[in-house]
Amino acid sequence: MLKIISATPDTAKTPKNAKKNIMNYFFQIGFIFSVALRQISKYCCRIIESCLSKTPQAPRITAPAPNPLYIAHGWRRYPKYARMALFGYPKTGFHFAAINSSSSSVLKIACVLLLLLIFPFPGQAKGRSIDNIDTSWAEKEGKDTGTNYFTDLSFESNNNVFGLSDSQKTKLTENDPKDINSNRYKDMDSISDYIIAPTIGAKVSSKNSYFGKFDLTSWIKYNYYKRNEKSSFSEGRIRLKRSSGKHGKLALEGNFTSKYFKKNYLSGVVDTNSNGNIKRDERIYSAAVYDEYEGKISYEHTLLKKKHKFLSRIILEPFAGYRCRKYNSEFNNRNFNLPFEGVGFAFKFASRIDLGIKYQHDQVLSGNGQELFLYDETISGIDCNGDGKIRANAPCISKIDRSSNRNTLEINPSVKLTEDASLFLGYSKRTESYTSDNSLDIKHYNQDGYRRQVKSGFKYNVSKNISALIEYSKTDNEDGDDDKYSENKFIISLKIDLN
């Protein structure tokens, strides 16, 4: 007897407690910026993708006939950039064409660099973990009016790109046939990776009597993963900042992330022996891919500015924004809206020491739809699915709510060693408290999470138009969707002003 359980969730419901306030107008402007920038990035990505394929004509190959489970529940998906086209479903199996992507790494890098040089449009980015690495150094003050173009090329070494726990790393390395059949680690080819990320950008500055001084800065970045090519994605930002009075600056900002592959999650099960206990080879996993948009408004006010004092500058910066994340249809209950607000302070001491402090509060507003998960009934003694059996890996469908409240504190000191060299440090800690009221949702019910990051780095102005940055960071994370894991990153970045 074949027992099939689909993990396709209910349509994600609109969060009930979404914040509504008069700042929504400004957030919408940020979203418009994000959407427009994303459309341009799609065109950019198509050019890059065409470079990553060696032959335009796809060889015809035959894949084994798929399990009826996949057909009945639409489980098997073909990603947008998989470069394959279905031709039919004869008795022998699926026939499809696949473009050979075995072109040399040198060719791939050359194509990306060529695009970087010939496409003069702005861009900057956020980073794989979606927690921004400080790239404000790339926005150093330019001329009062006119347009400045710049490029940035970074090389990142990351020892845990998918945020895997120690046990998950072991299973991925073992490459067990049970995990292969379930697609547990499909397209997750390597735990660590080298990421090549070209950025192209522009900054437009203007000054007039009516609008005052304003700067428009935008970036686009493409993250190419050498070992996990399916994880490559694009992201970008556009920001408008204008002077407000003698001591203030008002900023509107839009960010986007496109086709970000997080990892594979459970999407279905097949209880082949009808014993109610789902083993590893009876599980089905699918890729979780999302797009993310963010709008933000901030006001920067200089409270103190005295050149020859020990405390020479104090800047206050309150901010607020709204972020929206949308997953592919298999995981639309993971979608969320996230209003956030906070305040930042910047201090300068003795004209050489800078100290940045920022506090941010996030309210994660997630759906509360039905999801499939495995529940250990032997611990609680509860028969969660009503099959009359108590099992360690019982398939259960219940409401899952990932809504939470987050609080983040960041401290970022830096020291100017010489006119061109500076050393910086950073520490941030985020705490998270989930609000789920479903006791079967053991990953979120009465649970807390945290994220802690420390970093250090060195910045150096090689010349007037060339800047370099070296950074190391270590992140420890534990939340409702991911087991406890650590991640280490080492980044080398080179920025060139093209003017």
* Strands, E assignment, 350-465: 353-366, 370-375, 394-399, 404-416, 421-434, 448-461
d(CA 83, CA 51): 12
The mean per-residue pLDDT over the stretch 319-342 comes to: 96
Which amino acid makes up residue 45? C
pTM of the model: 0.74
pLDDT at 238 over 70: yes
Q: What domains can you pick out in the chain, each with its CATH number?
A: 3-52+103-497 (2.40.160.40)
The mean per-residue pLDDT over the stretch 455-476 comes to: 96
What is the pLDDT at residue 198? 97
Residue 208: count of CB within 10 angstroms of its CB = 9
Name the 3-class secondary structure at 483.
coil
What band does 144 get if pLDDT is binned at 50, 70 and 90?
A: low
pLDDT at 24 over 70: no
What is the pLDDT at residue 303? 95
Closest CA to 452 of 417, 410, 495: 410
Cβ proximity of 221 and 247 under 8 Å:
no
Which amino acid makes up residue 342? G
CA 235 to chain centre: 9
User: Residue with structure tokens 């032959």?
Assistant: 55
Alpha carbon distance, N-terminus to C-terminus of the chain = 70
pLDDT tens digits, one per residue of 36-89: 555 555 555 455 445 444 434 333 333 333 333 333 333 333 333 333 332 333
Name the 3-class secondary structure at 331.
helix
d(CA 443, CA 82): 33
User: Residue with structure tokens 């407690």?
Assistant: 17
Q: What is the dihedral of CA 346, 490, 216, 237, to 10 degrees?
A: -110
Cβ proximity of 251 and 215 under 8 Å:
no
What band does 111 get if pLDDT is binned at 50, 70 and 90?
A: very low
179: left (phi over 0), alpha (psi -120 to 50) or beta: alpha
Residues 6 or more apart in contact with residue 391 via CB below 8 angstroms: 275, 276, 277, 377, 378
What would the two tokens of residue 377 be? 């009934």
What band does 482 get if pLDDT is binned at 50, 70 and 90?
A: confident
